[in-house]
A = this chain, B = another copy of it.
Amino acid sequence: MRRLILRLTTLCAALAVAGATYAQIATNAVGRSPWSVTDEIGTLNMMTDQSRLDVLRQISSGKVYDLSVDLFVGMPTCCADAFGDPAYQIWKTHEPTRKEGGALVSHSSDTILMNTHTGTHIDSLNHFGLHGKIWNEVSASEALGDRGWTKSGADKIPPIVARGVLVDVAAFKGVQHLPASYAITPADLEGALARQGSELRPGDVVLIRTGLMTVWPDKSQYQFFNQSGLSLAAAQWLVEVQQVMLLGADNFGLESFPSTDAENFAPVHTYLLAEKGVPFMEVMWLEDLAKDQVYEFLFIGAPLKLRGATGSPMRPLAIPIAAKSRS
């Protein structure tokens, strides 16, 4: 009964969203945080000690799912090809001498160079703004310095411990991966959730599976410009109706590309980060969860605290929670 009511509520809200869409998008203004005038983390404020303990107590397995990909020279990167950002590099700074055996201690070390949006990573709220401002009405003139923003960087993102839900849209559609540039609708999400028997709850971490990791790391197939992903309507439904806390997906950019909005090449990015304060993760490895049909889990992850950064690599984990906990 409770689920039926929830579903009806959802439907009504979705209709409301559909009708309200134009006006909301047309504002194109950054949001002011309902949490605090100094807020830098948006919806991550939804977490509390109690919310964390609730999900931690539901853990039903000692199996840990790794939701990240390897980082290696030559790996696909959205931003090297699309935007001129550096591709991932690692190099040696120390190595055992060639005269092996001649020295007792064999010391090796290395250095990495990477755009902060390489491999599995999270986008900080300062990654996209509107009209020169970011989330919570912070302007570049007050908070953009020589080395980046002083507000809403990856260093402000707290450890994330929350209920997670996989939404396997590819499985719902019965395809290996969604077709090029396909824009996932709210109905797709509802259909996928119904297929799984999963429900979303306020404060969830919701991970969208397009199936594109099945072609990773083939650069000729896993390409930024034409990937399937969320439509703006789907993002709105997740945020405004379902009240998710954090989003994620297995593609480069969460949303469908290219954008159909001539004035905004990443409308879901600006909607989530700048208008609503919702961070999200990209290039996630969701194949193991999908294969084992693990749809609900403890999500645990925390980016590197790169001061001011617009994103950070991370290695999120999932641990199954009990089925009985769902109702």
Contacts and interface: CB of A to CB of B under 8 A. Distances in A.
A304 B315 contact: yes
A144 B97 CA distance: 9
Given A71-B306, A104-B130, A114 B111 contact: yes
A190 B73 CA distance: 44
Nearest to A60: B53
Contact of A62 (B53, B110, B147, B304): B53
A93 B106 contact: no
B93 A307 contact: no
Contacts of A99: 141
The copy count of this chain in the complex is 4
B101 A132 contact: yes
A159 B317 contact: yes
A307 B70 contact: yes
A327 interface: no
24 contacts: A49-B63, A50-B62, A64-B159, A70-B155, A70-B307, A72-B307, A73-B147, A80-B87, A91-B91, A92-B92, A96-B129, A98-B140, A104-B270, A106-B129, A106-B131, A107-B128, A108-B310, A109-B115, A109-B127, A110-B306, A110-B310, A112-B114, A303-B315, A304-B304
A325 to B, nearest CB: 14
Given A95-B140, A110-B306, 14 more contacts: A51-B62, A53-B61, A71-B155, A83-B94, A91-B111, A92-B148, A96-B140, A105-B128, A105-B130, A108-B126, A108-B149, A112-B113, A300-B317, A304-B304
A284 to B, nearest CB: 13
A100 B148 contact: no
A319 interface: yes
Nearest to A115: B111
A105 B265 contact: yes
A41 interface: no
A86 interface: yes
A302 to B, nearest CB: 4
A32 interface: no
A45 B115 CA distance: 32
